């Protein structure tokens, strides 16, 4: 459990998710990296270029400081790491399973929130945009790749997500490997 806590803590220092846009005019791609506390371009030019391109089709600008979830990301992951260390000290199977359940629930909540954000971002367009295609939505995929006009948007986990997944798997292994109490109550579970 201590290792699980360390992995969650390390996820604060690397991107959690990556969205890449490729097109003939951008063969090297434009990318966005989602961190626990912000969203930024893969290079210093990517986010401004994405905002400029999105302006023409009526999408909102991505302004990291205006995304309220980023105020919760670091404290939530920090609390999850602290919870793992407390479970390691307490050394109880139920507590380890409670941590796994909490971590999975947090991951699912973040995925649902990210999907809702992408949906809003890709569907609620400025009706006065320069380029309008009736019925067209520009929601990037939550996971995988999708064609959006002449762009291919690819959305995949980044290192931080893999660290959190590893933490969950290690915690589940920890819970499974703990001995259950015997009828005489001689071992801890």
Q: Which long-range contacts (CB under 8 A, 24 or more apart) does 129-132 make?
A: 129/55, 129/56, 129/57, 129/58, 130/55, 130/56, 130/57, 131/56, 131/57, 131/58, 132/57, 132/58
pLDDT at 179: 61
Q: How many residues does the chain have?
A: 189
Domain boundaries, the chain: 2-177
Q: Is residue 137 predicted with pLDDT exceeding 90?
A: no
Q: Is residue 46 predicted with pLDDT exceeding 70?
A: yes
Q: Is residue 39 predicted with pLDDT exceeding 80?
A: yes
Token pair, residue 53, equals 């391109």
Q: Is residue 182 predicted with pLDDT exceeding 70?
A: no
> Roughly how many angstroms between the first and final C-alpha of the chain, as a whole number?
14
- The residue-averaged pLDDT of 12-41 equals 96
- The residue-averaged pLDDT of 75-85 equals 98
How high does pLDDT run on average in the chain?
92
């Amino acid at each position: 459990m201590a290792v699980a806590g360390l992995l969650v803590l390390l996820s604060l220092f690397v991107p959690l998710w990556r969205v890449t846009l490729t097109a003939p005019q951008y063969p090297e791609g434009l990318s966005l990296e989602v961190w626990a506390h912000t969203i930024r371009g893969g290079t210093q030019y990517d986010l401004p270029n994405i905002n400029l391109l999105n302006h023409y089709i009526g999408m909102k600008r991505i302004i990291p400081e205006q995304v309220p979830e980023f105020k919760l990301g670091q404290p939530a992951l920090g609390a999850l790491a602290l919870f793992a260390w407390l479970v390691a000290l307490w050394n109880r199977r139920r507590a380890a399973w409670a941590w796994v359940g909490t971590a999975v629930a947090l991951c699912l909540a973040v995925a649902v929130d990210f999907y809702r954000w992408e949906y809003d971002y890709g569907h609620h367009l400025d009706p006065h945009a320069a380029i309008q295609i009736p019925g067209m939505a520009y929601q990037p995929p939550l996971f995988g790749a999708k064609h959006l006009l002449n762009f291919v948007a690819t959305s995949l986990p980044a290192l931080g997500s893999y660290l959190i997944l590893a933490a969950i798997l290690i915690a589940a292994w920890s819970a499974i490997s703990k001995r259950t109490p015997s009828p005489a109550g001689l071992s801890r579970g």
